[in-house]
Amino acid sequence: MDPEIEYILSLKAVRERAHKVLELAEQGKLTHFNYDREKLSVAADFVIGIIQRDFGPDKYHLIPPHGRWQHFEVGGIPRIDQLLRQWDDQNFDNVEKVRGLIDLFFVSVLLDAGAGDVWKFQEPGSEQTYNRSEGIAIASLHMFLNGDFATNGSSRKDVVEGAALQTLDAEKLYRGFQINEESNPLLAVDKRVELLRRLGGSLLGLPEIFGTNGRPGHLVGNTNKIDYLNLWSVLQKLLIPIWPSDRTNVDGHPVGDAWPLTCLAKSSDPNTSTKISAIQSFHKLTQWLAYSLMVPFTRLLDVTWLNADQGTGLAEYRNGGLFVDMGVLTLKDESLAEGLQRSSNADNGLPCFGASDDEIVEWRAMTVALLDKLHDIIKTSPQFNGVQLTLPQVLEAGSWKAGRELAAEKRPLTKSSPIVILGDGTLF
């Protein structure tokens, strides 16, 4: 592979490029945002307060890493533990249990790209309804248990197979997610279905990794030590071909969740710039999946991870919303006016942009870099009794939760992000 393309697909590129954008912000050279570094400490204090509230004074070591597992426990119901007990009854060993969870987490995470402000899911046999990420988690779990991701000839329902994904139709998702276009719409249903179909083909195209039936769970091998960068390489090899074709290409090679950014282009030295100089990488959904997959490996198989610190903060609207709602980032007047002009929520003061618009790419780049800065502050904070939290722990217990709570406080009717993103169901 071309070294420049290999770089733009890497985790290293995500972090390095984002910090280049932060350098430009510190020089006042962003295109769309103003950066107030003094308010970063205020945001850090707010996040620290939330972590202390939920895990203090002596439970900081119990903070889980950011991952899909926790979403299945919404409402105080330990659904994954219940599933593991079912598998105990079938005499599954821990390797097979992890394979099952990898199957579930794969489809659940890839379906989890922004549900919108309206959609909700009522859990069967319950009066409880859930929305957003947790709602998608519960809906995908019930589809998994129903056999919606298994082939007709499979020996069990609770499995994911490439051929079943390849033939998945929208009707199954409408039924499984209780979607009604008028009363309970979910954003971009067709795009989500197409993503899973393409995933099925990609799984079947890599039998040396995922077996002849294209099962995600075949990632699990017999080892007690895994290099996170190896997992990353496998996920990129599998997932880059499945993303929509209208994303960024470099010399005809798709590069996934990576986008041209004006401030990077303007700052590039014309004498040394390359074909990727202006591209900012994120690979957010793949990173969210990688973080999620780590958890069952660690909890059930006691796997030790190498290079796990190479993962970055997640460039999505909850983490990014934290920095906007706390005033660390503010849209410049011209960009704000443009966003309000596009927005149906203009009366509420909410600007709106497309997911690949330069405003959103710049916001996401700053989010990645500021999450590193936030993590640095928290690592040196004396409030945690010597427990040094990892970045995935800070994402879970701090920044993501803080972004959500601020949204609920400031926009109680919709709980939406302070900047509305027109997504396509395959990006966030």
Report, in angstroms and rounded to the nearest whole number, the Rg of the chain calculated over CA atoms.
21
What is the model's pLDDT at position 348? 73
Q: What is the mean pLDDT of the chain?
A: 94
The model's confidence at residue 346, banded by pLDDT at 50, 70 and 90, is low
The overall pTM is greater than 0.75: yes
Residue 338 has pLDDT above 60, yes or no: yes
Shortest CA distance to 65 belongs to which of 266, 308, 262? Answer: 308
pLDDT for residue 159 is more than 70: yes
- Give the model's pLDDT for residue 261: 98
DSSP letter at 184?
A: B
In contact, 65 and 294? CB cutoff 8 Å = yes
User: Based on the number of CB atoms within 10 Å of its own CB, is 212 exposed (0-12), middle (13-18) or buried (19 or more)?
Assistant: exposed
Measure the CA–CA gap between 159 and 138, rounded to whole angstroms.
16
Give mean pLDDT, residues 39-43. Answer: 98
The per-residue pLDDT for 87 is 98
The pLDDT of residue 287 is above 80:
yes
pLDDT value at position 127? 87
Considering the chain, what percentage of its residues have pLDDT values greater than 70? Answer: 99
Percent of the chain with pLDDT over 90: 87
What letter would DSSP give residue 396? Answer: I
pLDDT band at 414 (very low <50, low <70, confident <90, very high): confident
CA distance 27 to 191: 39
Q: Is the pLDDT of residue 294 over 90?
A: yes
- In three state form, how does the secondary structure of 320-347 look? HHHHHHCCCEEECHHHHHHHHHHCCCHH
Mean pLDDT (whole number) for 269-277: 82
Beta strands 33-35; 329-331: pairing state: antiparallel
Residue 115 to residue 417: CA distance in whole angstroms: 13
- pLDDT tens track for 112-152: 987 777 899 999 999 899 999 999 999 999 999 999 999 99
**Residue predicted with more confidence, 188 or 297:** 297
Evaluate whether 399 touches 369 at the Cβ level (below 8 Å). Answer: no
How far the first Cα of the chain sits from its last, in Å, is 27
Confidence of residue 423 (pLDDT cuts 50, 70, 90): confident
pLDDT at 385: 83
Domain ranges for the chain, please list them. Answer: 3-64+264-280+313-422, 68-222
193-241 pLDDT, tens digit per residue, is 999 999 999 999 999 999 999 999 999 988 899 999 999 999 999 999 9
* Rounded mean pLDDT, 108-115: 88
Averaged over 16-20, what is the pLDDT?
98
pLDDT band at 345; cut points 50, 70, 90: low
Q: Which two tokens stand for residue 226?
A: 């895994």
pLDDT at 269: 80
pLDDT band at 259 (very low <50, low <70, confident <90, very high): very high
Dmax over CA atoms of the chain, in Å, equals: 65
- Are the C-beta atoms of 29 and 263 separated by less than 8 Å? yes
Count of beta carbons in the 10 Å neighbourhood of residue 117: 17
